[in-house]
Structure 1
């Protein structure tokens, strides 16, 4: 049996809208499905019951012409989570995946100069919907890729002379549970530089909001060009935002600023006063533009960074891995220090790392059956909200936070603002109590010192939200996105645990499990941007048309929602 699903993407679409630790520097990552030249996915074993097929064609949305060489990436989900296959479109734009195991998949198509699209999307920033294969079927999945948007212009110096060979970096404005951030658009297959006339053309952009940076890196001190953001400021907060629509071309000429580049130098030592050879040093700004990373190669712990422009920075230092290191380095140490760099060399810095905050406590269980999990398989960790070393403390000990037989635990290396979470399937975090107060969703500032007596409560009660969505005619909708978000939270609470997004399963029903008990709002849309649920402005707009409900412990709640157009 053959089913046909043809995806058409319109050419024009409207956009919906440890020590002192600094804001987290976004780590550049390739988005899912971006082809990596020269890298082949691992070979996959094909189960005996793999009898389904996916085939289709990739074309340009504006001309309908086949896109030869387009890259199609397929990822499995659920029981097929290990499936990772890729293909190239032939001269007619056709591709095919044979011997597929029935189940859910995400499929992407990309080609340089065009916007990467996922199967099921009508616009590139929509949340992808999984395609479900049934046994003995051939699933037709066609892609019509829109040409990417363009930011073009001319780059000059502050006297009006054109600048050649300067890199232009588009930074996407994204939303996350911890707030807004700027992230380089790494989906672009090529870097962008100004030509001999100073002209530049940053192409292949997906619809969205951007900040454009011009970067000229130099290790030389003295007067030089410094990283500048459109329309001509060295401060990312003052940069003008550029809205790029589907296949839209937007002009953005500006002049780069000059400044005196200086040296930042000093000495790195451990909390025991020993020099830290091979320590990792990262000098960063609010964005990842101009980030500098180096190793301390001097045995005495001396370091020097040349070509640093005036501005506000965070200097992150972490000790090297423990392999072959003296005993006093067995504990990973780190620190983050705020630096204000002016027009003179900043020398003589003494940077002292530390082991971070230590947290001790106990895990208890509330079970309707009287059971409790194997303590050896329960691990408590600090989810860092604002640090450069990742979401967990940079400890070299893989057992950090693992439970002892009596339910006690110790976490070392905490820093910044921390939420405490537990990794254990089948159990849900109920509460985190410190000195009688509930801090489950309120970050603890590690600068306040070590913690003892933290109480972590797990429960096996599970909440579930099941629902369906009707369109404007009252008929069951089969294509939609549901966002669930909290009605009200306590002061200082982080909403991330209470915000969820659901898409319909094969039966047209959406399901959400393990939402914490609370009061919620739910709204259904035909499509939303991929990060819209974390945008406070979007949630506020959705609030007036959303359906309110309360979820009690252990409750299964059924919802009937109307599609919001």
Structure 2
């Protein structure tokens, strides 16, 4: 751990050191006399689309102006100051578009607008979103009604790859039919889950249904990947639910004094993955509960009384095909973490305290557990969360000018190691969250084999030390080149690898398996604190995952 002595006068504390900065919304956006206009049509019919949101955005000007198309699909964005703009469109059931893009969801081409100019024919032909449809049946081939069907994609969280819901889900009708719509182009998996509706009742049904993936497997590793193109409908994606032995989870909930806790709600949530609640119950007058119809899996039990969310009980439960009894949940109160937000002197103007969000980040999200707050006017904060190991993170809302530099607990920097949060009525005090306007940045361009700049790609910068690839790490960054074909990655000082590859999916893979592949085709580099380093990367082969 790094110990830093804080000397009075070296840090800016809120609010006495600086005057309050007015919120961004109080600063009127710049105006001018330029106009951008055009028409939006449906790609399939060339029919004008009404009520499409069209935006002109210029990050350097901090301008984001939106209008709606009229009945014929025409729009007119006026009073624009001179600058470089990205023009975008959004409309329900259509794929979002950016002017100048070469593929759906790809990067666009900005337009330069002079003051007083009229830029015409900035037109769009929007493609409809995709659809997946099919039928869900039970093991006897009978239609399964009221089954939740969800489109899934792999997401990357703290260096781990997990399937998560990636679009609107659907319930099957009485014929077992479902229709997933509004899907952006990309890769999907389809899951079907029959919710446990035994809340508050004790079922004697010997079997239940496990979450099932297309084409009919209980393992996400064996699920079949589906590729959905813009405007495409994939039909016949049928799933047969997998029956499994139903288990009962039972136990007792005690309050903070060790007494039976009556009328508490008990929820059983999967620890990893996507599935909805696996069941729930209310405690009896003696604090006991029973949850029936539970499929095998790893779960988190959470108990609390309505209106008393800061007092709750948590326990991990593994169901392996048999009943789980004697579970004891002992309530505890949320642990307060108290401290101050400070700013290093620099070029940036410190914001007011309420503009800073402080969060307790954990390796695995905890269901129903609080863990975030905003600072007060005087720069102090109090965050309440559950006991256990966590990392403190902070960011200024709506601004990239400031970054977290240190988290000090009684003078010891725990920004990377995290801290152990006690339970049992304890607290964590004397936390100093320090932000700085000095940035350590790696930027540059990506070129192909011919030496031409590439914008439609992804850049991953990651620590040479593989121990820093997992957990709530600050040493892995994934980014894409901006409208000037320049990428930017802000990380702490250190030794890194950098690689660039084509990747049309919105989620960038950054789990250790992928980083190990990228290491063999990446360039090494080092960067000092506060340094800005420019590099040129060659487009490489994408990782296989």
TM-score, normalising length: structure 2: 0.70
1:441 corresponds to which residue?
A: 416
Distance in 1 of aligned mates of 2:246 and 2:470: 41
By how many angstroms is 1:459 displaced? 5.3
Q: How does 1:4-19 map to 2 (within 5 A)?
A: none
By how many angstroms is 1:517 displaced? 0.7
Label 1:86 to 1:443 Cα distance change in 2 as closer, same or farther (>3 A): farther
1:22 corresponds to which residue?
A: none
2:184 to 194, 206, 218: 206
1:56 to 11, 35, 39: 39
Does residue 315 of structure 1 match 2:290?
Answer: no
Is the 1:481–1:526 contact (alpha carbons within 8 Å) kept by the matching residues of 2?
yes
SS in 1 for 2:474: helix
SS in 2 for 1:336: strand
1:488 to 437, 440, 465: 465
Distance in 1 of aligned mates of 2:164 and 2:142: 29
Does residue 548 of structure 1 match 2:524?
Answer: yes
Distance in 2 of aligned mates of 1:204 and 1:387: 27
2:165 to 168, 175, 184: 184
1:107 to 88, 104, 108: 88
Distance in 2 of aligned mates of 1:541 and 1:129: 29
2:10 corresponds to which residue?
A: none
Label 1:384 to 1:235 Cα distance change in 2 as closer, same or farther (>3 A): same
Label 1:249 to 1:266 Cα distance change in 2 as closer, same or farther (>3 A): same
SS in 1 for 2:191: strand
Which sits farther off after the overlay, 373-382 or 466-475?
373-382
Does residue 418 of structure 1 match 2:390?
Answer: yes
Does residue 255 of structure 1 match 2:234?
Answer: no
By how many angstroms is 1:174 displaced? 1.9
By how many angstroms is 1:516 displaced? 1.0
Distance in 1 of aligned mates of 2:486 and 2:162: 33
Is the 1:53–1:99 contact (alpha carbons within 8 Å) kept by the matching residues of 2?
no
Deviation sequence 1:2-37 (CA, Å, 0-9, x none): xxxxxxxxxxxxxxxxxxxxxxxxxxxxxxxxxxxx
By how many angstroms is 1:552 displaced? 0.5
2:276 to 279, 290, 312: 290
Q: How many residues align?
A: 499
TM-score, normalising length: structure 1: 0.68
Runs of 5+ unmatched residues, structure 1:
1-41, 323-328
Does residue 157 of structure 1 match 2:103?
Answer: no
Distance in 1 of aligned mates of 2:516 and 2:141: 44
Runs of 5+ unmatched residues, structure 2:
1-24
2:475 to 458, 483, 498: 498
Label 1:273 to 1:122 Cα distance change in 2 as closer, same or farther (>3 A): farther
SS in 2 for 1:497: coil
Deviation sequence 1:249-277 (CA, Å, 0-9, x none): 47543322345767766665542457778
Compute the RMSD of aligned alpha carbons.
Answer: 5.1
Distance in 1 of aligned mates of 2:101 and 2:513: 23
1:354 corresponds to which residue?
A: 332
Deviation sequence 1:505-551 (CA, Å, 0-9, x none): 55554444x42111223334465432215344544444344333211
By how many angstroms is 1:497 displaced? 2.1
Label 1:105 to 1:475 Cα distance change in 2 as closer, same or farther (>3 A): closer
Deviation sequence 1:327-349 (CA, Å, 0-9, x none): xx8xx233432234578887776
Is the 1:119–1:129 contact (alpha carbons within 8 Å) kept by the matching residues of 2?
yes
1:383 corresponds to which residue?
A: 361
